[in-house]
Amino acid sequence: MCLICVELAKQKLTPAEGRRALGEMRVALDREHIAEVEAKLAEAERDDSSKP
């Protein structure tokens, strides 16, 4: 878990903000976790677009 996961879980971060944060934190995260965060973002984006 990194800051992005934590904030996403709390829904304090929108998927768009999460993607920007991931771009900034990419170098500090290992590749496996980047894939994990990307999966979470994709899920959050899907949830987001299903809202009215």
Cα–Cα distance, 7 to 4 (Å, whole number)? 5
Among the candidate windows 5-13, 14-22, 44-52, which touches Zn ion by CB under 5 A?
A: 5-13
How many of the chain's residues bind Zn ion (CB under 5 A)? 3
Our finding on whether 25 is near Zn ion (CB under 5 A) is no
Among the candidate windows 2-10, 12-20, 44-52, which touches Zn ion by CB under 5 A?
A: 2-10
For 19, other C-beta atoms within 10 Å of its C-beta total 17
For 37, other C-beta atoms within 10 Å of its C-beta total 22
For 17, other C-beta atoms within 10 Å of its C-beta total 14
In whole angstroms, the minimum distance from the beta carbon of 1 to Zn ion comes to: 5
Residues within the interface to Zn ion (CB under 5 A): 1-2, 5
